[in-house]
Amino acid sequence: MQVSVTGHHVEVTDSLRTHVEEKIGKLKRHFDNVTDVHVVLTVEKLEQKAEATVQVSGAKLFAEDTQSDMYQAIDRMVDKLDRQIIKHKEKTGSHR
């Protein structure tokens, strides 16, 4: 799984990068076929925004979240992705 983190109007520090990689790593426990993850961290005035595009086998999943704290935005964005991956996995599961 390849994780790329970019910043828009924000410098991506080592602590932000490791936090994103830790949280994205948890997605792997639900679905092994995650191939590519692209995370964009953005600052717009007082809002911190985290958005991610995840390439899994057969689909592209997108999630974003806006909070006043970047770490909270990352956590909630990963929760949304987690739910989407579980839903995708159930769809592609066995059909009798």
Bridge partners of 42? 8, 49
Q: Among 73, 85, 91, 69, which residue's Cα sits nearest to residue 26?
A: 85
Q: Where are the domains of the chain?
A: 2-91
Q: What tens digit of pLDDT does each residue of 7-52 get? A: 999 899 999 999 999 988 888 777 777 788 999 999 988 899 999 9
Q: How many CB atoms lie within 10 A of CB 58?
A: 9
Q: What does pTM read for this prediction?
A: 0.87
Geometric angle at alpha carbon 15, from 13 and 17, rounded to 5°: 70
pLDDT at 96: 62
Q: What is the CA radius of gyration of the chain?
A: 14
What top-level class would CATH report for the domain 2-91? alpha beta
